[in-house]
């Protein structure tokens, strides 16, 4: 009977109080990894290209490295946070790269138009 009860409690979703208790037990490295990812996202969408790419890559790498380390050592909600954080970082990193490539292509196209107007 106890085994059935533990199986049902493990499959039931957490309520808000249980989630907050689980978050309080997270390793500080998980919080640091999530914080670096949030910093990267803020710098991507608020700073635009004013933040240098070579400054943002170490932030992304450090955030993913911390979450990868914690992913091997954690279980439950912390494991899910680490997994989703890594995938979110990869997605935002690729989105940032696509945005930069588009902006570079726009500059090159504008330069080509100027050159064509001067008959070069």
Q: How does pLDDT run across 47-68, given as a tens digit for each residue?
A: 555 567 777 888 888 998 988 8
Rounded-to-integer distance, Cα 64 and Cα 30, Å: 10
114 pLDDT more than 80: no
Q: Confidence class of residue 22 from pLDDT cuts 50, 70 and 90?
A: confident
Contact 21, 57 (CB under 8 A): no
Q: Which residue has the higher pLDDT, 14 or 67?
A: 67
Rounded-to-integer distance, Cα 13 and Cα 55, Å: 39
Q: What is the pLDDT of residue 54?
A: 76
pLDDT digits (tens, 9 = 90+) for 83-97: 899 999 999 888 877
Q: Which of these, 46, 30, 45, lies nearest to 85 by C-alpha position?
A: 30
Say how many Å lie between the first and final Cα of the chain, rounded: 84
Q: Which helix (H) or strand (E) holds 89?
A: helix 76-117
């Amino acid at each position: 009977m106890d085994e059935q009860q533990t199986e049902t409690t493990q499959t039931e979703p957490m309520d808000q109080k249980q989630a907050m208790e689980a978050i309080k037990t997270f390793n500080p490295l998980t919080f640091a990894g999530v914080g670096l990812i949030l910093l990267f996202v803020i710098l991507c969408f608020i700073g635009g290209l004013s933040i240098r790419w070579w400054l943002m890559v170490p932030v992304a790498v450090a955030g993913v490295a911390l979450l990868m380390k914690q992913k091997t050592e954690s279980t439950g909600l912390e494991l899910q946070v680490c997994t989703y954080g890594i995938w979110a970082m990869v997605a935002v990193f690729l989105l940032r790269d696509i945005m930069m490539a588009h902006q570079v292509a726009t500059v090159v196209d504008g330069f080509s138009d100027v050159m064509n107007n001067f008959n070069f």
